[in-house]
Amino acid sequence: MSYFPNVEKIKYEGVGTKNKFAFRHYNPEEVIMGKTMKEHLRFAVAYWHTMTQDGSDPFGNPTNIRNWFGDTPMETAKNRVDAFFEFLVKMDVEYFCFHDIDIAPEGNSLEEFFANIDTITDLIKEKMDETGIKLLWNTANMFSHPRFNNGAASSNNAEVFAYAAAQVKKGLDVSKKLGGENYVFWGGREGYESLLNTDMKLEQDNIARLFKMAIAYGEKIGHKPQFLLEPKPKEPSKHQYDFDAATTVAFIQKYGLEGDFKLNLEANHATLAGHTFEHELNVARCYEALGSIDANQGDLLLGWDTDEFPTNVMDTSLAMYEILENDGIAPGGINFDAKVRRSSFEMDDLVLAHIAGMDTYARGLKVAAKLKEDRFLDEIKEERYASYTIGIGKNIIDGKEDLETLTTYALENDQVELESSHLEYVKSLLNDYLV
Ligand code: XLS
Ligand code: CA
Ligand code: CA
């Protein structure tokens, strides 16, 4: 049976097409700067939003019409695997991502949960072998169940730590079984509500302890995915430990995890942290920690995590520019951590939303490539920092000056002349690239 009977495999037809089930910008085999679009973009579909999100919100019941529900949770879970792979093949997407609880029902015990995961990942593996589709990353959901009220590794209760550790072990076993290229930790409830009852140092040390156990276990079973930490400043916790890229890199460095951990950066989380997405990507690049991205967009008028499909070309262009500057993000990729709006409740909306996201990133890639080929931003920056390429500036860079020699220089050159940045002109030239 087909779960998406209205949809054939989505193909590139170009901007003029009237077919809504076609790519207008994403042309997988088109070569840009020496690589195909498919190689650059490494798109992934998120199991949670696409297969399990029901459209409910704090004020309303589910709205999504979905055709994969069976008589039991396990039957539904099995149907979802079939539907998901049909979807991936039709979307021409090579990768996917999931949490443990997205794919298999938790049942009544941890043992039952693990058995369900085994059954479902057997099915997933068969589908992967059949289609060539790959696992970008998996993760353990250690935030939804009430036991994680006070965090997982950062919980005050050591039994919760143990439970989380078991989930991570299973996650790594599954990663090995399915050849996962990355493994994500998002600290859903790794944060705190009040300092009055919180030992922040112990909580952060414990989070690092869990990560070190994960590294050690990966080594033991001979499976070494790129570990990724995903920053987010708030929601659900008031104070989240992994606030943004800079905070998270500090954590990675403090605990000596640089060799194994990079960042998975999400656009909407950047917005919540009061940053642009390109800022977060740039910070990660400065620390050689850019691992993968969760491609979505937030709403600047709302203060929460709306996880919209990316449709803003300026934003994706600047994000793709950072990715090109990074020489790509493989083994990371572009995961659509995005959900259809509550009013887009039909099955076909899943297809249309992913086309929109893929086309918007494809356009971003084209704009970013042109910016790089023209050296547009390179020239602006070279000119702006030119004073460091000659004279006193070059001496500073070369380590030839100290406070005394610079004082002598400044006393003789105290009438500093600045130049305008002409930033409005720069922005209007940048707009021309979007046309
Ligand atoms: C939630 C996060 C989550 C992670 C994976 O806001 O984005 O979905 O990506 O746990
Ligand atoms: Ca995410
Ligand atoms: Ca999010």
Query: Tens digits of per-residue pLDDT, 230-260?
Result: 999 999 999 999 999 999 999 999 999 999 9
Q: Is 102 a catalytic residue?
A: yes
32 forms bridges with which residues in the sheet?
Answer: 35
Alpha carbon separation from 86 to 1, 4, 243, 285, 351 (Å, rounded): 10, 8, 37, 36, 11
164 pLDDT above the threshold of 90 = yes
Mean pLDDT of 204-211: 98
Cα 37-313-228 angle, rounded to 5 deg = 65
DSSP designation for 328: -
Output the pLDDT for position 8.
98
Give the three-state DSSP class for 313.
Answer: helix
Q: What global pTM score does this model have?
A: 0.98
Judge contact between 286 and 325, C-beta under 8 A: no
Annotated active-site residue in 25, 99, 269, 354? 99
274 forms bridges with which residues in the sheet?
Answer: none
Mean pLDDT of 339-362: 98
Distance 266 CA to ligand 2 centre (A): 5
The average confidence (pLDDT) of the chain is: 98
Identify the band that residue 435 occupies on the pLDDT scale cut at 50, 70 and 90: confident
Phi first, then psi, for residue 21 (nearest 5°) are: -95, 55
Q: Give the β-pairing of 290-294 and 261-266.
A: parallel
Among protein residues, the one with the nearest Cα to ligand 1's atom 3 is 186
Distance 294 CA to ligand 2 centre (A): 5
Q: Which two tokens stand for residue 22?
A: 């076609």
Output the pLDDT for position 339.
98
Mean pLDDT of 291-307: 96
Q: Which two tokens stand for residue 149?
A: 């009220």
Q: Is 186 in the pocket of ligand 1 (CB under 6 A)?
A: yes
Q: Is 374 a catalytic residue?
A: no
- Report which residue type is found at 322: E
Output the pLDDT for position 363.
98
Distance linking the first and last C-alpha atoms of the chain: 43
Distance CA(306)–CA(296), nearest Å, equals 9
Structure-token match 């353990």, residue found: 140
Distance 251 CA to ligand 3 centre (A): 21
Distance CA(378)–CA(390), nearest Å, equals 18
The residue whose CB lies within 8 Å of the most ligand 1 atoms, and thus the one to mutate among 48, 230, 335, is: 230
Identify the band that residue 148 occupies on the pLDDT scale cut at 50, 70 and 90: very high
Q: Which two tokens stand for residue 374?
A: 């023209």
